[in-house]
Amino acid sequence: MSEAARLRYRSAGDFTAPLTIRTPCGGGIYGGQTHSQSPEAVFAHVCGLRTVMPSNPYDAKGLLISAIENDDPVIFLEPKRLYNGPFDGHHDKPVVPWSQNPMGAVPEGYYTVPLDSATVFRPGEQLTVLAYGTMVWVCDAAARESGIDAEIIDLRSIWPLDLATILASVKKTGRCVVVHEATRTCGFGAELVSLVQEHCFYHLEAPIERVTGWDTPYPHAQEWAYFPGPDRVAAAFKRTVEA
């Protein structure tokens, strides 16, 4: 139990902990093992904490305002690889700046994006993709390059989770792929797979796939080798659709 949850419990709800902590996360910047971690599953596991990870500047501002105004403590994770633009996983291509993407247009005035809300980033019919942060853009590139009509759900709020949006999509498509750049073992994707299996078992037409970072780094390999790229994601799409 976090100190925030303990504070609520011991005060019978009289006291709150309105604290928002912003922190960079994720890889793709050649930061190595000490600067490219994805710790979202650690925070999601702590009772009383909210965990948020936007995939674009528009959502980042709206979610940050909602987080600051919320009475609960919020861990606000910011993927470093997205600071400069909507990175699609192709390390050999020039960086595309946010100024060339509609989601880079951030209003100067006040607005909020609700916490605990996922969004349909890309509508589709063949399968559902659950992703967040940088992987939203990698999955979008994989869908375009593979020609698979994937519906991409951007979680935005990792915990609490917008389960209704997830289940509605999976029940529509009958197939699901979960993608995150954190390591596979005990990653948050395992929770997503479990929830989909629990609630959508009779709607699934194929096994749920996971595409994640590797548990063990390859000796002498570049960081991009661990980072789930469009090719690896597209391969999972194809296996799921053809199953």
> Please, how many CA atoms are within 13 Å of residue 181, restricted to the half-sphere of its CB?
31
**Secondary structure string (H, E, C) spanning 54-119:** CCCHHHHHHHHHHHHHCCCCEEEEEEHHHCCCCCCCCCCCCCCCHHHCHHHCCCCCCCCCCCCCCE
- Residue 139: which of 56, 233, 49 has the closest Cα? 233
Report strand pairing: 119-122 vs 209-213. Answer: unpaired
Contact 183, 232 (CB under 8 A): no
Active site (annotated) includes residue 35: yes
Looking at residue 99, what is its pLDDT? 95
Looking at residue 215, what is its pLDDT? 85
Catalytic residue, candidates 35, 91, 199, 203:
35
Looking at residue 34, what is its pLDDT? 60
Q: What is the pLDDT of residues 147-198, one digit of tens each?
A: 999 999 999 999 999 999 999 999 999 999 999 999 999 999 999 999 999 9
- Please give the model's pTM, rounded to 2 decimal places: 0.93
Domains of the chain, by residue range, sit at 3-242
Contact 189, 178 (CB under 8 A): yes
CATH of domain 3-242: 3.40.50.920
Enclosing H/E stretch for 136: helix 134-146
Looking at residue 3, what is its pLDDT? 57
Report strand pairing: 150-154 vs 127-131. Answer: parallel
Looking at residue 211, what is its pLDDT? 97
DSSP assignment of 184-238 equals STT-HHHHHHHHHHHHHGGG-SS--EEEEE-SSPPTT--GGGTSPPHHHHHHHHH
For the chain, list residues with pLDDT below 50: none
Looking at residue 12, what is its pLDDT? 74
